Amino acid sequence: MNEPIARLRALRSVELRTVACPESVDFYTEIWGLRTVEQDHDVAWLRGSGAQHHVLQLTAAERNGLGRISFAVSTPADVDAAARRLEQLGIPVLEGPGPVADAGGGYGLRFADIEGRVIELLTGTYAVAELGRHDAVPVGVTHVVLNTVDIDAAVAFYTSVLGMRVSDWSEHQMAFLRCNSDHHSIAFNQAGWTSVNHVAYEMPSVDHFMRGIGRLRHSGITPLWGPGRHGPGDNTFSYFADPAGLVCEYTSGIAQVDEDRWLCRVWRRIPELSDTWGTAGPPSPQTRTHMAGIADPGAFERFPELRERIPGAVEASEIGAGVRVAAGKY
Ligand SMILES: [Fe+2]
């Protein structure tokens, strides 16, 4: 593989499949700080204060899991070119390229990665008016951390196929990947099975970040872990469990990468670097359990033949049964 299939501009939105859809819609809109853009009986599209039509789609499901990750590309021609490149690489396109019927519109395509996660490339979506940045509410989604059974294979796929760059490693346990100047939009965590580790929402400043934590505290919700500040990425963190047990994070101040100057480094996994403020302490077993989630076959459940068709797809046995707790997340 030489040319990536597209030039990704940004992480746009995330779809989560959730066992507690109505409760989670209430949580994310009444407490977390998102707003409903559209809603159907078993799905809701929620926005932040930024211009994205929606940043989170919640879809009712029998098991928690990742619905899809959507990245912004520049033009429909980029989507069409990506479809041609995927075909050359032997990676099946699940939907598109073409106009998207979902809320938010646009022109896009969907395909699955080597662990069955659905990736969407989108352009020309509806924008919404920005809401201003006074309130302590998220601007949008800024990164997703994914548990993987093979971190080297995951990094190879996202760098070669999607053109992402590795900003940093945390030993051989986590890899932080960027698609723009943000230090990471995706990070992988070596784990016992494939699942979502957490979704992070950008607060405009440390003050917004702390006020957001305060608002949750007044609703009787305390962080699973945090507040603190990570070494890799330099971002603040405070992790919470949503009503389905999926982990969401308030963060601010992510490091900005100058492509001409950035040197990727391997961070040691020591408490002073996991939390440079020293305020959070180590993550509890409960935090690790929430971040491990349950094994998520993703698109491989709906399309079992995909695993045989995607070059380098992981074996079914490697996905695991979801009974062990993934260890070592920071
Ligand atoms: Fe995070």
pLDDT tens string 81-94: 999 999 999 999 99
Q: How far is the CA of 250 from the centre of ligand 1 (A)?
A: 8
Q: How far is the CA of 199 from the centre of ligand 1 (A)?
A: 7
Q: What tokens were used for 296?
A: 């998520």
pLDDT at 317: 54
Q: How far is the CA of 306 from the centre of ligand 1 (A)?
A: 29
Q: How far is the CA of 142 from the centre of ligand 1 (A)?
A: 9
Tell me: pLDDT of 330 over 60.
no
Q: How far is the CA of 261 from the centre of ligand 1 (A)?
A: 24
Would you say the C-alpha torsion 103, 293, 61, 162 has a positive or negative sign? positive
CATH fold match for the domains 10-123 and 140-292:
yes
Tell me: pLDDT of 322 over 60.
no
Tell me: pLDDT of 127 over 90.
no
Q: How far is the CA of 116 from the centre of ligand 1 (A)?
A: 21
Strands of the sheet containing 93-99, edge to edge, are 35-40, 43-47, 56-60, 10-18, 65-72, 118-123, 107-112, 93-99
Q: How far is CA 55 from CA 20, 38, 89, 118, 158, in A?
A: 18, 12, 29, 16, 21
Q: How far is the CA of 291 from the centre of ligand 1 (A)?
A: 11
Domain spanning 10-123: which CATH class is it, in words? Answer: alpha beta
Tell me the pLDDT of the chain averaged across its residues: 94
Q: How far is the CA of 200 from the centre of ligand 1 (A)?
A: 5
Q: How far is the CA of 74 from the centre of ligand 1 (A)?
A: 26
Residue 1's contacts (CB-CB under 8 Å, 6 or more residues apart) are 89, 160, 161
Q: Where are the domains of the chain?
A: 10-123, 140-292
Closest CA to 141 of 230, 279, 46, 241: 46
pLDDT at 318: 53
**What's the pLDDT tens digit per position in 140-192?**
999 999 999 999 999 999 999 999 999 999 999 999 999 999 999 999 999 99
Q: How far is the CA of 192 from the centre of ligand 1 (A)?
A: 19
Q: How far is the CA of 20 from the centre of ligand 1 (A)?
A: 22
**What's the pLDDT tens digit per position in 30-86?**
999 999 999 999 999 999 999 999 999 999 999 999 999 999 999 999 999 999 999
Percent of the chain topping pLDDT 70 = 95
Q: How far is the CA of 236 from the centre of ligand 1 (A)?
A: 9
Q: How far is the CA of 144 from the centre of ligand 1 (A)?
A: 7
Mean pLDDT of 14-24: 98
Which fold, 140-292?
A: 2,3-Dihydroxybiphenyl 1,2-Dioxygenase; domain 1 (3.10.180)
Q: How far is the CA of 88 from the centre of ligand 1 (A)?
A: 34
